[in-house]
């Protein structure tokens, strides 16, 4: 085990340096499972959903959809079994927060799941964890077993009327299985391909049953909101984006790692004060603020508060909070090549625009990097990206288009230099 706790902690991660927090006894000793007991025995499911909604908890999986609101989409009544799915398929390049939450705080997440189960009437939760997270899966399974043996899971949770089972399922390694309906297909043993909507998961989800899918971090926030209330939650973060999140900082920084900070913390503060800035006295060239699918920001825009309402103004988004810092040596065409290769490789191939567009973009970008591009290629690139946007079954196609649009928006000069000089003018950049 290398990393045990984030460099900066807050309520989510404050005990993560403490090995005992990952065990059921240690977790209970630090007040664990009290929030679940309180929610189940003293609150109605509607009250729980309303509280989480009023607290303003945004989903932390990338899209930022309101968690409490999502819960209310589940049908009332018990005609069909209802399920929760915990999306632990953390696969956005630049994102590695969920891994820590599962390795160091598995019971915190399970407690959040119990509260959500109470709010939605779900009888079972499937935790879909990416296959590569072997250690996290081991920790989670141990925690699940402990929770069963102590009556935190099973027929009568903590002696209450809630019955809840948790099943851990390991994925086989595809980015698209992190998309909620691609995940559901994979969970059912099928090829991971997103489903067309309608029907939405709340009506037709896992195995055809009403299902809510939430991210690991989203669940992990829930016990704290129950315990401390919505007003406390709203003291952290911004008005529209309350609470903290765990920023994962990687790339050209002195201290890459995880930082739990309130939403709205400024990007330059995270990079320079917390992550120690760029090594070797180099300057920042660009920063991807929220995982690879979010558009890049140039060095001049690092004063942006890290919350969706501010990032959207800069035509980017918070995504999963994975911050990737690139210094002045970086060739942005190579960055585009890496990104477009990833999305080409990971496109499930269902929708025309995504299947063909990801490949086409990647080929054009590679040709530009080789010095064989023309200025028309840049227009074609933007045009293809535009065609891929907003027209497919899932958001993957947008996620493939946005970063390329962002790179061309802020670093078009890099592309044009390749065209002009008929070679890559950044010899010191990372190699492809």
Partner 1 sequence: MANITIDGVQYEVKDGRTILQALDDLGLLMNGVDVPHYCWHPKLSIDGSCRLCQVEIKGQPKLQIACNTPVADGMEITTANERVKKAREGVMELLLVNHPLDCPICDQAGECKLQDYAYEYGVAHARTKEPRRALKKRVDLGPTITFDQERCILCRRCVRFTREISKTSELTVNGRGDRSVIETFPGFPLDNDYSMNVADICPVGALTTKDFRFKIRVWFLDDKPGVCTGCANGCNVHLGVANNQVYRYVPRRNDAVNETWMCDEGRMSYKQIGAPDRVQEALVRSAVGGLVSTKLEGAIAAAATKLRAATSGGAGVVAALASAHATNEDLFVLRRFCEALGTETMGVAVPIGRADELLIKAEKAANGAGARALGFKDAQSVVDRVKAGAVRALIVLGHDALAALGGETALAGLDCVILLDSHHSPLERAAHVVFPARVAAEKRGTITNHAGRVQRLVPAIEPAFDAFSEGEVLMRLGQALGLAGFAPGVSFNAREVSRAIGQAVPAFAGCDYDAVGDEGRLLGGAGAR
Smallest gap from residue 200 Cβ to partner 1 (A): 12
Minimum distance from CB of 345 to partner 1 (Å)? Answer: 7
In the window 197-236, what residues touch partner 1 (CB under 8 A)? Answer: 198
**Is the distance from CB of 12 to CB of 246 less than 8 angstroms?**
yes
Chain residues 107-136 in contact with partner 1, contact rule CB under 8 A: none
Which residues inside 343-372 make contact with partner 1, applying CB under 8 A? 344-360, 363-364, 367
By the 10 Å C-beta count (0-12 exposed, 13-18 middle, 19+ buried), 161 is classed as exposed
Q: Which is nearer to partner 1, 119 or 399 (CB)?
A: 399
DSSP letters of 325-342?
Answer: EEETT--HHHHHHHHHHH
Stretch of 6-14, 51-59, 282-290, 389-397 lying at the interface with partner 1 (CB under 8 A): 389-397
Q: Which is nearer to partner 1, 116 or 399 (CB)?
A: 399
Segment near partner 1 (CB under 8 A), from 68-76, 160-168, 376-384, 408-416? 376-384
Distance CA 116, CA 119 (A): 5
Q: Which is nearer to partner 1, 56 or 192 (CB)?
A: 192
Would you give the distance in Å from CA 363 to the centre of its chain?
A: 28
30 binds partner 1 (CB under 8 A): no
Contact status: 392 vs partner 1 (CB under 8 A): yes
> What is the smallest separation between the CB atom of 197 and partner 1, expressed in angstroms?
8
Using CA atoms, how far apart are residues 114 and 122, in angstroms rounded to an integer? 9
Kindly give the interhelix angle for 375-388 and 352-369, rounded to the nearest 10 degrees: 160
Q: Which tokens is 234 given?
A: 């709203």
Binding mask 156-195 for partner 1 (x = CB under 8 A): ------------------x----------------x----
Strand partners, 168: 127
Q: Does 312 bind partner 1 (CB under 8 A)?
A: no
Of 46 and 345, nearer to partner 1 (C-beta) is 345
Instruction: Name the one range near partner 1 by CB under 8 A: 26-34, 217-225, 328-336, 391-399.
Output: 391-399
Nearest Cα neighbor of 285 from 392, 170, 407 is 407
**Options 393, 399, 404, 407; binder of partner 1; rule CB under 8 A:** 393
The residue behind tokens 């049908």 is 75
The answer to whether 60 touches 218, Cβ cutoff 8 Å, is: yes
Show the tokens assigned to 20.
């005992």
Instruction: Output the smallest distance, CB 363 to partner 1, in A.
Output: 4
- Residue 131: CB minimum distance to partner 1, A: 16
387 binds partner 1 (CB under 8 A): yes
Q: For partner 1, which is the closer residue by CB, 55 or 393?
A: 393
**Long-range contacts from 232-235, C-beta under 8 angstroms, 24+ separation:** 233/55, 233/56, 233/57, 234/55, 234/56
The least CB distance from residue 107 to partner 1, in Å, is: 36
Q: Which stretch binds partner 1 (CB under 8 A): 216-224, 232-240, 380-388, 401-409?
A: 380-388
The radius of gyration of the chain from alpha carbons, rounded to an integer in Å, stands at 22
C-beta of 61: minimal distance to partner 1 in Å? 22
Q: Under the criterion CB under 8 A, does residue 391 sit at the interface with partner 1?
A: yes
Task: For the CB of residue 334, give the shortest distance to partner 1 in the complex, in Å.
Answer: 18
Give the SS3 label for residue 381. helix
Query: How many chain residues interact with partner 1 (CB under 8 A)?
Result: 32
Q: Which of 250/350 has CB closer to partner 1?
A: 350
Helical H segments across 56-175, by residue range = 67-72, 97-104, 106-120, 134-149
Q: How many residues are given for the chain?
A: 432
Q: How far apart are CA 382 and CA 395, in angstroms?
A: 18
Min dist CB 373 to partner 1, Å, is 10
Nearer CB in complex with partner 1: 75/279: 75
Is 395 one of the binding residues for partner 1 (CB under 8 A)?
no
Beta bridge partners of 86: 127, 214
Q: Look-up: residue for tokens 């000793």?
A: 29
Shortest distance in whole angstroms from residue 368 CB to partner 1: 11
H-helix or E-strand containing 374?
A: none
Structure tokens given for 82: 């209802």
Residues of this chain that bind partner 1 (CB under 8 A): 174, 191, 196, 198, 344-360, 363-364, 367, 376, 380, 384, 387, 390-393
């Amino acid at each position: 085990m290398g990393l045990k706790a984030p460099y900066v902690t807050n309520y989510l991660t404050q005990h993560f340096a403490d090995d005992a927090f990952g065990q059921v006894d240690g977790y209970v000793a630090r007040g664990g499972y009290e929030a679940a007991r309180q929610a189940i025995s003293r609150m109605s499911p509607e009250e729980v959903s309303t509280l989480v909604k009023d607290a303003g908890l945004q989903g932390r999986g990338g899209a930022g959809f309101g968690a409490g609101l999502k819960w209310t989409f589940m049908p009332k009544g018990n005609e069909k079994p209802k399920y929760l799915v915990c999306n632990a398929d953390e696969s956005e390049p630049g994102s590695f927060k969920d891994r820590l939450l599962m390795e160091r705080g598995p019971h915190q997440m399970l407690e959040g799941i119990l509260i959500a189960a109470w709010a939605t009437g779900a009888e079972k939760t499937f935790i879909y964890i990416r296959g590569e997270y072997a250690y996290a899966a081991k920790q989670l399974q141990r925690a699940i077993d402990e929770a069963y043996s102590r009556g935190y899971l099973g027929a009568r949770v903590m002696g209450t009327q809630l019955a809840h089972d948790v099943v851990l399922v390991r994925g086989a390694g595809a980015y698209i299985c992190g998309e909620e309906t691609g995940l559901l297909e994979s969970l059912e043993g099928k090829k991971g391909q997103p489903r067309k909507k309608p029907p939405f998961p709340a009506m037709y989800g896992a195995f055809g049953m009403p299902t809510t899918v939430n991210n690991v971090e989203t669940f992990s926030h829930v016990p704290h909101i129950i315990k401390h209330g919505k007003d406390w939650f709203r003291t952290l973060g911004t008005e529209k984006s309350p609470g903290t999140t765990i920023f994962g900082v990687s790339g050209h920084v002195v201290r890459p790692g995880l930082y739990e900070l309130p939403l709205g913390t400024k990007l330059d503060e995270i990079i320079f004060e917390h992550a120690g800035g760029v090594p070797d006295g180099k300057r920042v060239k660009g920063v991807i603020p929220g995982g690879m699918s979010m558009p890049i920001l140039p060095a001049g825009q690092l004063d942006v508060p890290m919350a969706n309402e501010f990032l959207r103004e800069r035509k980017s988004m918070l995504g999963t909070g994975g911050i990737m810092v690139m210094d002045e040596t970086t060739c942005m065409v190579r960055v585009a090549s890496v990104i477009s290769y990833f999305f080409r490789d990971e496109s499930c191939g269902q929708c025309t625009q995504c299947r063909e567009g990801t490949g086409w973009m990647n080929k054009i970008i590679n040709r530009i990097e080789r010095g064989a591009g023309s200025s028309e290629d840049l227009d074609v690139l933007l045009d293809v990206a535009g065609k891929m946007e907003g027209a497919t079954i899932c958001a993957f196609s947008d996620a493939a288009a946005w970063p390329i649009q962002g790179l061309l928006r802020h670093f078009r000069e890099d592309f044009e230099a390749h065209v002009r000089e008929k070679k890559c003018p950044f010899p010191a950049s990372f190699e492809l």
